[in-house]
Amino acid sequence: MHSVFKRLYKTIFKRDMLHVNKDKLASELDSLLFSDKENEYFYGPMSGEHKRKVYKKYKELLNDDTLDSMDFCEIEAEAILSNTKTSKTDLLIKYLELHYESEDKTTALINRQLSYPKGIDIDDPSTWSETMIKNCHALLTAADQWELDNSTPSFEEFKRLLIEDPVFRRSNRPRLGMELEEWKVS
């Protein structure tokens, strides 16, 4: 079995915790391959280049005008489950590989952006840098000014509350990027 099909199976298992059947597999294929067309309706127009890519994929996979995307996916799902190939299986594999490659890049980028520097525990203020604490205080001050609230604690009081009050600490802990000197309240 091709590795993209194994990954497809894992996705379905994670979501449903049941066996993979033709309907689930077809539905997953349809959402992976053809969601762009439906998303345009919900999320607005696609760029011209993206439209051309989507149209090319449709044309390559669904060159028979009588076949809609779900029919195509059901045929392919049946072939996958019976461990056979159709005339479009290699093309299907190509598009799934492209999809998963793009998904992996996006996941890696998000993980890089969501990770705090080594040694920082956002639940333990003793691990925060002075810059992070100053930026957290600046954010609280800005929020209080926005709400016309003049009860912002002084910086020293702010630091004391971070250590003593877990609720205050949780609501004022650093966001990503606050370890940088150039971080600005936006």
Residue 35 pLDDT greater than 50, yes or no = yes
What is the rounded distance in angstroms from the CA atom of residue 56 to the CA atom of residue 145?
53
Predicted model pTM: 0.53
What is the rounded distance in angstroms from the CA atom of residue 40 to the CA atom of residue 51?
9
Q: Give the model confidence (pLDDT) of 126-179 as tens digits.
A: 888 888 889 888 888 888 777 777 788 888 888 888 888 888 888 888 877 777
Q: Which of 96, 99, 101 is nearest to 1 (CA)?
A: 96
- Residue 17 pLDDT level (bands cut at 50, 70, 90): very low
What is the rounded distance in angstroms from the CA atom of residue 135 to the CA atom of residue 129?
10
Lowest pLDDT segment from 14-23, 149-158, 175-184: 14-23
In this prediction, residue 76 carries a pLDDT of 86
